């Protein structure tokens, strides 16, 4: 899929990985809609992006991915503004072991909600143009992260949901691909502020730092390049792409 003229929706777009994805899509001539709750950061980013790319390919909508009504309204506005949707990146996420219900609601519930709303607009059987949905999981969705069990559970759920929905989309003829990315440690606000969000597992902070020292951390732009490649490769569906310092690897799963 070439991105020239395509319409992409990115959640959690104001900072971190979402910001990097947004910038990379714009560089590839896509139209990008930024969804985020952080209006201050989003509006500041919008000023930068409009200065670089003009305002005809950009739109910001304040949106909470944990709210059904807000998500549906946002996607409807995108369709009305740009005539359809080709790419959705369900990227918004938090890390908060102090509030595990919110963590699951945003990280997994937001992905499920975003994927289902995306299907309402992209499904070829109901007038959509088809396309691709990329869901942000984590290496914590592949390996159990003992210091972040709720976060780990939410990201495992993202991988399982993405693979199942990809199979359902293929079997149903929806014309929409679903893939997940599983990045390692990335230099984002989520990573830098994790200490205060560890709750009952705060005593494990030294072990977390030791792992990050051993594995290293990536810049968000590294993840964005992998997202771009996954979007453009139309042979990829139901994949979970692990993104590490040493390189990328598509995960293999046992078949039924």
Q: What is the chain's pLDDT, residue by residue, as a tens digit (256 residues)?
A: 889 999 999 999 999 999 999 999 999 999 999 999 999 999 999 999 999 999 999 999 999 999 999 999 999 999 999 999 999 999 999 999 999 999 999 999 999 999 999 999 999 999 999 999 999 999 999 999 999 999 999 999 999 999 999 999 999 999 999 999 999 989 888 777 777 888 898 898 888 878 777 777 899 999 999 999 999 999 999 999 999 987 888 888 887 6
User: What pLDDT sits at residue 245?
Assistant: 82
Q: Output the CA–CA distances (angstroms, integers) from residue 210 to 42, 78, 164, in the order listed.
A: 33, 43, 34
Question: Could you tell me if 98 and 53 are in contact, meaning their C-beta atoms sit under 8 angstroms apart?
Answer: no
Is 174 designated active site?
no
pLDDT score recorded for residue 194? 75
Residue 103: the pLDDT is: 97
What is the pLDDT at residue 104? 98
Catalytic residue among 116, 151, 174, 250: 151
As a CATH number, domain 7-242 is 3.40.50.720
Spans of all domains in the chain: 7-242
Question: What pLDDT shows up at residue 247?
Answer: 84
Question: CB–CB of 160/115 below 8 Å?
Answer: no
The CA distances from residue 247 to 128, 183, 210, 236, 243, in Å, are 35, 10, 21, 18, 6
């Amino acid at each position: 899929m070439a991105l020239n003229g395509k319409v992409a929706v990115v959640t959690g777009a104001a900072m971190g990985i979402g910001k990097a994805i947004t910038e990379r899509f714009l560089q590839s001539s896509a139209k990008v809609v930024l969804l985020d709750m952080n209006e201050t950061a989003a509006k500041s980013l919008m000023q930068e992006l409009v200065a670089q790319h003009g305002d005809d390919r950009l739109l910001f909508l304040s949106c909470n991915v944990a709210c059904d009504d807000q998500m549906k309204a946002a996607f409807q506005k995108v369709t009305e503004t740009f005539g359809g949707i080709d790419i959705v990146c369900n990227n918004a996420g938090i890390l908060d072991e102090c509030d595990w219900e919110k963590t699951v609601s945003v990280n997994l519930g937001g992905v499920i909600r975003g994927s289902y709303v995306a299907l309402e607009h992209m499904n070829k059987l109901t007038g959509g143009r088809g396309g691709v949905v990329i869901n942000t999981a984590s290496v914590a969705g592949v390996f159990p992260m003992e210091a972040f069990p709720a976060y780990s559970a939410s990201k495992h759920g993202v991988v399982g949901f993405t693979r199942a929905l990809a199979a359902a989309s293929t079997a149903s003829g929806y014309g929409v691909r679903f893939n997940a990315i599983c990045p390692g440690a990335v230099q984002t606000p989520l990573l830098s502020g994790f200490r205060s969000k560890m709750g009952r597992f705060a005593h494990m902070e030294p072990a977390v730092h030791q792992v990050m020292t051993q594995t290293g951390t990536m810049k968000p732009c590294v993840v964005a390049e992998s997202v771009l490649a996954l979007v453009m490769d139309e042979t990829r569906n139901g994949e979970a792409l692990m993104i590490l310092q040493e390189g990328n690897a598509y995960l293999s799963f046992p078949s039924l």
